[in-house]
């Protein structure tokens, strides 16, 4: 099936540990994104990548890191420097990038709980 | 970062009623998107608008790109229980590489 796959769906980690969330897409999309969603809030952009081996900070990049070594993969690491990491994380992709007018499509999300 | 003003925050309606929600901004947008999100799932694209004044339908859903380019509306006709969820608007400004999201409208439909 074509789409965007995020894993794991649920993740629990101890405070101070780094965590990596996986995002894979088989849509042949050029651009990929990571958003964070908190209860009652809209989506906030963490990082985005328009091409392989290149990525840009979004509005709330502090405490997060990403890599884009392959077109289909865009993993997000939540580092111990992120002060409030518990949230719902959404990966998305777009054929050419949102700035070109194309829309973005989302994965099913990953719940991260830090205890 | 900038956010859109989406209203209402929540709606409680009876099955069969029509629904209207909107997003406004102080800035001009070149693209407006409407998504629906079910609990614990990723948002699903409903309608995309690319031109001022554009009116687009998707089944019982109709969305419009405001003439001023500073707002957009989503209407749902004859609501059904499966319409329950959170509806998000998103917009993109010219020259920007980012989408800006509203905080969502939570819709509850009573059978």
Residue A39 has what pLDDT? 81
Q: What is the tens place of the pLDDT at every residue in B23-48?
A: 999 999 999 999 999 988 999 999 99
What DSSP line would sit under A31-51, residue for residue?
EEEEEEE-TT--EEEEEEEEE
Contact (CB<8Å) B41/A48:
no
Interface size, chain A vs chain B, as Cβ–Cβ contacts under 8 Å: 68
**Angle at the Cα of B105 (from A5 to A48), degrees rounded to 5?**
35
User: What is the rounded distance in angstroms from the CA atom of residue A23 to the CA atom of residue A8?
Assistant: 9
Contact (CB<8Å) B43/A90:
yes
**What's the average model confidence in pLDDT over A24-40?**
92
Q: What is the tens place of the pLDDT at every residue in A79-99?
A: 988 888 999 999 999 887 655
User: What is the rounded distance in angstroms from the CA atom of residue B48 to the CA atom of residue B55?
Assistant: 10
């Amino acid at each position: 099936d074509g789409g965007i796959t995020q894993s794991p769906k649920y993740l629990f980690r101890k405070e101070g540990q780094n965590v990596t969330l996986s995002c894979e897409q088989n849509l042949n999309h050029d651009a990929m994104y990571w958003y964070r969603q908190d209860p009652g809030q809209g989506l906030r952009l963490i990082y985005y990548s328009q091409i392989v081996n290149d990525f840009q900070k979004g509005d709330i990049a502090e405490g997060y890191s990403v890599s884009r070594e392959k077109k289909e993969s865009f993993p997000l690491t939540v580092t111990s420097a992120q002060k409030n990491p518990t949230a719902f994380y959404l990966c998305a992709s777009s054929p050419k990038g949102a700035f070109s007018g194309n829309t973005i499509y989302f994965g099913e999300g990953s719940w991260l709980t830090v205890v | 970062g900038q956010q859109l003003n989406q209203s209402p925050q929540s709606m409680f309606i009876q099955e069969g009623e029509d629904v209207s929600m909107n997003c406004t901004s102080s800035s001009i947008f070149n693209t407006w998107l409407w998504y629906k999100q079910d609990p614990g799932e990723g948002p699903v694209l409903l309608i995309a608008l690319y031109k001022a004044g554009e009116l687009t339908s998707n089944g019982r859903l109709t969305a419009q790109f405001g003439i001023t380019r500073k707002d957009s509306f989503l209407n749902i006709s004859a609501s059904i229980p499966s319409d329950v969820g959170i509806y998000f608007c998103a917009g993109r400004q010219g020259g920007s590489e980012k989408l800006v999201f509203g905080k969502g409208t939570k819709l509850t439909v009573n059978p």
